Structure 1
Amino acid sequence: MKFTDGYWLVRDGVTLQRPAEVHDVEVHEDRLRVFAPVTRIETRGDTLNKPVITVSFTAPREDVIAVEIEHFAGARQSRPRFDLETAPASPGITREGAGEAETISFTSGRLTARVALHGPWHVDYLWDGEVLTGSGARSIGYAQVEGEGPYIHEQLSLDVGEHIYGLGERFGTFVKNGQSVDIWNADGGTSSEQAYKNVPFFLSSRGYGVLVDDAGPVSFEVGSENVAATQFSVPGERLRYEVYGGGTPLEVLDRYTARSGRPPQLPEWSFGLWLSTSFTTQYDEETVLSFVDGMAERGIPLSVFHFDCFWMRGFHWSDFVWDPATFPDPRGLIAKLHDRGLKVCVWINPYIAQRSHLFAEGAEAGHLLRTVEGDVWQTDLWQAGMGLVDFTSAEAAAWFTGKLEALLEDGVDCFKTDFGERIPTEGIVWADGSDPLREHNFYAQQYNQAVFELLERHRGTGEAVLFARSATAGGQRFPIHWGGDCESTYVAMAQSLRGGLSLTSSGFGFWSHDIGGFEGTPDATLFQRWVAFGLLSTHSRLHGSSSYRVPWLFDEESVDVMREFAQLKVQLTPYLLRTARATARTGAPSMRPMYMQFPDDPAARALDTQYMLGPDILVAPVLQASGEVDVYLPAGSWVHLLDGEELDLEHGAYLRRRYDVHSLGLFARAGSEVLAQVRAARAEAGA
């Protein structure tokens, strides 16, 4: 959100007040409070009729500093709030300098906030004494916007050449500099500025991270309103953010995920190939078994079979009742799939259609969202007359997950938790009194958490898996997440990859996407290219909207390509499991952008068409019909995993290669354990 009209003026309808100087400080054992009036105080009369901005510094963990900016302290603390794990550090608070150069510093571990006590407002954030970023004289603002109310914003300085990443899943330009980004979950596909997974956290190439600790609509201006700063603003009288101290991007993510939550260890079977019925296609038990048996007959290893929406009857979503016309014996079918060595996933969502028998039950018990008038909130968008499960109520969450227990008893192993973005904000009342604006994004967290914890209770720790679409900060604790509804084009494949790399820059450890694209039907070559990309992502799912994704419906070469890459992923499984254990331990994403693995290489900082799968494998998907791909290899020794090409590079280098559909840019570090394992496995298989 922009408040200014160029550098000198403010926008029409906006009044903007900024801290002018530090007037006083309070030093406590665990915090520093700084009081900054919006004008200089030269006489006693200057203390009247003007705001004072209070800025507080605390240390929720070592190497982390939390900053709270307040105007009216009596404004209530809105729910919901992010669930952040605390291990309070013992901060150091010191005064230094004298006269106009006097400062007061608040230190947590190796991270320091240094506040200028004289002259214009100024705070520097330092790591081991080196300035990372800062808040200057025009950085903090208390804005009154006509017709909307108050906002507070902060601006943290951007250095020359500094790049900003993250802010959740974003499908546009990977580096966020120059962009306006609104943290607001929406069901907008992969080709717009909207996103399903919005996270108010960003990583800087300067070696720090920032979380805006507000579950609501945070607005970021990344070098866009002030081209020399990252601005973030929230509605209300209070803004709280946290600075995560420096080092490499992986070290910053270690600190951030220690606070917002680590991804759990995932079961080995989740890394295999998932096959879906697709969405609006016709399918029944015969169709399902023909697909599964067809994959086995063609030597394509399969791990999970997924039933999408129409396992239930139309107009009845979600009632969690198998459609008796197409699946008269669901337990028997699930047993047959288990006998074939497969796990079973079914689609669900938290929208309860009026035709569902659960609508009346949920409404009577008070488990559905209500309007301010006391009626059940309803809409015809998606399912006719649908209501919304109120996950702010523990009783409603237990009611919803209790209905899923019957599916677990049928033998279902995991759930695709779809939707969770179209959450109303006006004219409604949540059971626990949550602020509707802040519940909008947070709803996905409560929905996914409820289902994930159900699976942990019934399947055990280390066996719980979701296939989730929506999320916010901390959502990495409930994996896996996939990229949402993309078109069946090369451009959409690149969009999806940018979204995934942006998400893993935001603390998410695992990621997937719809192989072949969701909307439309790819041609055979595009499908083959997407198969290679999909089976070299952390998680791999074949899914579409109105067409199936089994390879023999494209051509026989698609069968060969899928067999080759599915078998390659099996060979990579020990490596993926080692990488996943590190993800659960440190928060380091299993699929990561190039800058994250090579932070000292300037050429890696803007790359968004290739990535690292763990620390030792570089993947550059083919994203154009010609088969050409530009690959950047950082300095070091690399070996192509499929064709054996060896490169020993003193400096990083760009390569242009043309690959047929049986290959792509796929390099491993020379001497790595995974290279030796894959070579041995391919030799044994005669590849």
Structure 2
Amino acid sequence: MKFRDGMWLPIEGKRTEYAEDIYTATQRPDSRALSLLCPTKHVRSRGDTLNLPTVTLDIEAVFDGVISVETTHWSGAANKGPHFDLFPAGKPVDDAKISVSDKGTTISSGSLSATVHPDQHTFDVRFHATDGSKQLTSLLNRSIGFAYGPAPSSPLQLDDMRNFDHYIFTQTTLSVGETVHGLGERFGAFNKVGQSVSLWNADGGTSSDQAYKNISFWLSSRGYGVFIDTPDHVELEIGSERSCRVQTSVKGQRLKWYLIYGPSPKEVLYKYTILTGRAGRVSSWSFGLWLSTSFTTSYDEKTVSSFLEGMKSRDIPVEVFHYDCFWLKAFHWCDFVFDSEMFPDPKGMISRIKASGLVKKVCVWTNPYLGQASPVFKMAAEKGYLLKRKNGDVWQTDLWQAGMGLVDFTNPEATKWFTGCMEQLFDTGIDSIKTDFGERIPTGDVQWYDENVDPSKMHNYYSFIYNKIVYEALQKRYGENEAVLFARSSTAGSQRFPLQWGGDCESTPEAMAESLRGGLSLGLCGFSFWSVDIGGFEGSPTPWIYKRWVAFGLLTSHSRLHGSNSYRVPWTIDNDDQGEQSSSKTLARWTALKARLMPYLYAQAMEAIAGGLPLSVRAMCLEFPEDPTSWYLDRQFMIGSKLLVAPIFEESGEVEFYLPEGRWTNFFTGEVKSGPRWVRETHDFDTLPFYVRENTVLVLGKEGERRTVYDYVKDVEVRLYHVNAGAKANLVDSDGNSKGTLEVDSNNDLVGQDLLQSGTNVLVISK
């Protein structure tokens, strides 16, 4: 939201007050915080303190490299929840210090400090490395304040605030050349400078500025990040109101954010995920191919079996079969009852397809809504399980499901009932849940069961509660490390409940690129795992788009074939072409490649979780932050720290990508290229730019491996790419447990081969 009309004028309909002075700077007795009293005009005499608003700025040392900043106008305003669940694994010990010198008052939190200018009339708060090595950002003149809308003509009008909106804002400085990234799964330009961003979950597809996963965290190329500590509707002007500032605003009386210093982007994410939590471990089986029925297509047990048998006959193993919406009866979504006409024996059906060996796990689609046609609706309404209007009616809408209500998860009994529904699904043989929707949460005429929650804050936060409930139900049934979601909506902290997928994209190369940008941005917000609808959701992909998307999708952390009104089994795409470049052969090759990559992928997954990092798709700037080009690359990504991928978006197979500094080896051909440089290549459907970073010890499954779950230290292949002493690879088993480390010693010998069981083949690609 903009509050200025250019540099000089206020915007029409708003009145804005800016903090001008720092009248007092008071230390808290525990020396962990400074409280700055900031009048909205310069105070040069006692009389100036009258009829004058103030803003309070509280700066607190949180833990090493993290400082919080809270801006408050009227402190008596209620601070209703929900609030983010911070420090889920415990809070580190802080390292706080406050000192005063001729340069001002400095509060330090380990490696990060904030210095307040000593002149009362100079509003200047600088955030910098404690050792003085780097200036990060600042709060300067007219950088904090509040605004009213509409603009009052008299202060007496503000006695009744029901007629006014109150906004509070801060503006941090942007340096020359600084870029901004993250803020959730955003489908527009990767660098957010110049954009207005609204953090408000919406079901808007992948082709607009709306997003399913709005995350109130952004990462700067200068080595710091900012986490905005509210699930409320946050508006950001990122170099778009003032070109040299990032403005953050919310409706309300207070705004709190944390400044997190790296200095590397990996260190920033590590510290950010101390605040908000890290991804749970996902089982190795979940990395295999997921096959869906698609959305509105017609299917029954015979259809499902034919799909799975067709995949097996084409040498395409399916790990998980997913039943989308129409496992439920039309108009009954989502009462968790199988449509008895189409699936008269759901438990037997699931048992049969598992017993056939065609699939190991089964997933079903759910959402937190309940259509009024279902008999369950009446029960849920009578028991108070559904969100209500202020007059006591059940809140209902005809958008999506006729007369649907929304499960009120602030009611413990509603949560207990919903969890019970999950348990009944597990009893039927369901292993995983697709938690769809959760974005269209009303905020106007609603009354939650818990009267202490703010409906506006519940809009985004609902996705956290919804996914947490289902994830914990899965953990309770199957074990802590066996819970796997396929979630669409998220907010900060939702990375704890993997995994997330990219929503409703079209079957076009442009939408594939949009999806990649969304995955890259989400990964820079602490989300380790991400997937996408292979082939695109809306529409019917042409064979070339399908095959290019297959290559992209099988190199993301999780891989699912899913569509809207058309199937995604490969033989329906190209009339069952039998050629070597056919859809079926292409899918078989890329599925097999992912199976071979599992020893590397799963070891990297454990490292990604520990560091709060994305596994795949990982933005290039995380691995090469000192390369300015890496902060603009949004058509390629890393899988873990060692493998570079550039999806192909052209029918011709032409692709242009960037290799950072160092030697890079083509995985398929062994050809070596040196960076930094831009490269152009042309590929058939069985390859794409897939390069191995120098100094890599790469552990692969054996040639011809088709399974996702196997012994990752037995009959493996180890490749050495331009290795030097110290190059290493961590080994894990298929449960993610550490089995040791392979490491190149000072003689360029590979140490740790005794950890590998029979049949291991070591290939020196290049020393």
TM-score interval w.r.t. the shorter chain? over 0.9
Q: How far 1:327 sits from its partner (Å)?
A: 1.1
Q: Quick check: 1:106 aligned with 2:107?
A: yes
Determine the C-alpha separation between the residues in 2 that align with 1:540 and 1:122: 49
- Residue 545 in 1 paired to residue 564 in 2? yes
Q: CA deviation at 1:568?
A: 0.2
Question: How far did 1:103 drift?
Answer: 0.9
Does 1:3 find its partner at 2:3?
yes
1:122 is displaced (CA, Å) by 0.9
Q: Find 2:303's aligned residue among 281, 287, 291.
A: 287
1:460 aligns with 2:496: no
**Quick one: which amino acid aligns to residue 9 of structure 1?**
L
Q: Is the 8 A contact 1:641 1:675 kept in 2?
A: no
Tell me which amino acid in the other structure corresponds to 1:137: N
Partner of 1:351: 369
- 4+ runs of 1 displaced by more than 4 Å? 675-686
SS state at 1:569 partner: helix
The answer to whether the Cα contact below 8 Å between 1:571 and 1:681 also exists between their aligned partners in 2 is: no
Query: Distance in 1 between the 2:670 and 2:309 partners?
Result: 34
**Paired residue secondary structure (2:62):** coil
The aligned counterpart of 1:530 is: 549
What is the distance in 1 between the residues matched to 2:38 and 2:106?
A: 16
Separation in 2 of the partners of 1:483 and 1:144?
A: 37
Is the 2:361–2:431 contact (alpha carbons within 8 Å) kept by the matching residues of 1?
A: yes
5 Å matches for 1:563-582?
563-582=588-607
Between the aligned partners of 2:529 and 2:104, the Cα distance in structure 1 is 43
Measure how far apart 1:675 and its partner are. Answer: 6.5
3-state SS, counterpart of residue 592 of structure 2: helix
Deviation at 1:142, TM superposition (A): 1.1
Which residue among 122, 130, 135 is the counterpart of 1:131? 135
Give the CA deviation at 1:131: 1.1
**Among 264, 286, 293, the residue aligned to 1:270:** 286
Which aligned pairs between 1:130-209 and structure 2 lie closer than 5 A? Answer: 130-146=134-150, 148-209=164-225
Question: How far, CA to CA, are the matches of 1:674 and 1:250 in structure 2?
Answer: 22
Q: Deviations over 1:464-493 (max 9, x none)?
A: 010000001111001110010010000000
Q: Is the 8 A contact 1:165 1:175 kept in 2?
A: yes
- Cα deviation for residue 293 of structure 1 reads 1.3
Q: Distance in 1 between matches of 2:294 and 2:718?
A: 32
Residue 323 of structure 1 aligns to a residue whose secondary structure is coil
**Matched letter for residue 24 of structure 2:** D
Using the TM superposition, give the Cα deviation of residue 677 of structure 1 relative to its aligned residue in structure 2, in angstroms: 5.8
The alignment partner of 1:652 has SS state of strand
Equivalent position of 1:240 in the other structure: 256
In the TM superposition, what is the alpha-carbon distance from 1:60 to its structure 2 partner?
A: 2.8
Amino acid in the other structure paired with 1:109: G
| 2:384 match | 366
Of 78, 93, 96, the residue aligned with 1:91 is 96
Q: CA deviation at 1:458?
A: 0.6
Give the deviation of 1:671 after TM superposition: 4.5
Note the C-alpha offset of 1:20. 1.1
The residue identity in structure 1 corresponding to 2:471 is F
Residue of structure 1 equivalent to 2:734: none
The 2-side partners of 1:474 and 1:514 are apart by: 23
Q: Equivalent residue of 1:77, what SS?
A: coil
Preserved CA contact (<8 Å) 1:669 1:675: no
Contact 1:337/1:344 (<8 A) preserved: no
Residue equivalent to 1:323: 339
Aligned AA (1:566): T
The answer for the alignment partner of 2:427 in structure 1 is 409
Q: Determine whether 1:622 maps to 2:648.
A: yes
Distance 2:718 2:146 in 1: 63
Displacement, 1:569?
0.3
Where 1:279 maps in the other structure, the secondary structure is coil
Equivalent pair of 2:597/2:699 in contact (CA under 8 Å): no
1:669: which partner in 2? Answer: 693
Looking at structure 1, the residues matched to 718 and 573 of structure 2 have their Cα atoms a distance apart, in angstroms, of 26
Higher mean C-alpha deviation, range 392-401 or range 482-491: 392-401
Q: How does 1:364-403 map to 2 (within 5 A)?
A: 364-403=382-421
Q: CA separation in 2, counterparts of 1:682 and 1:330? A: 44
Contact 1:66 1:243 in 2 (8 A): yes
**Over the residues paired in the alignment, what is the CA RMSD in angstroms?**
1.6
Q: Percent identity?
A: 49
Contact 1:21 1:117 in 2 (8 A): no
CA deviation after TM superposition for structure 1 residue 595, in Å: 1.1
Q: What residue number does 2:52 align with?
A: 50
Measure how far apart 1:662 and its partner are.
Answer: 1.0
1:439 aligned partner: 458
Q: Distance in 2 between matches of 1:633 and 1:588?
A: 21
Aligned to 2:727: none
- AA in 1 matched with 2:34: L
Q: Which residue of 2 aligns with 1:261?
A: 277
Gaps of 5+ in 2: 151-162, 704-715, 720-758, 762-767
Which amino acid counterpart does residue 255 of structure 1 have in structure 2? K
Structure 1 Cα separation of the partners of residues 659 and 609 of structure 2: 28
SS where residue 231 of structure 1 aligns?
Answer: strand
CA contact 2:55–2:145 (8 Å) conserved in 1: no
CA distance in 1 between counterparts of 2:626 and 2:354 reads 48
2:702, 2:681 → 1: CA distance? 22
Cα deviation per residue 1:432-480 (whole Å; 9 max; x = unaligned)?
A: 1211111101111100001001101111011001000000111100111
Q: CA deviation at 1:78?
A: 2.0
Aligned residues of 1:393 and 1:432 also touching (Cα < 8 A): yes
The separation in 1 between residues aligned to 2:565 and 2:490, in whole angstroms, is: 26
Tell me the CA shift for residue 681 of structure 1.
Answer: 5.6
Deviations 1:539-573 (A, max 9, x none): 10000000100011123311100000000000111
Asked if 1 retains the 8 angstrom alpha-carbon contact of 2:212 and 2:490, the reply is: yes
Equivalent residue pairs, number: 680
The range that moved more, 553-562 or 311-320, is: 553-562
Maintained 8 Å contact 1:312/1:318: yes
Query: Structure 1 stretch 575-584 or stretch 492-501: which is displaced more?
Result: 575-584
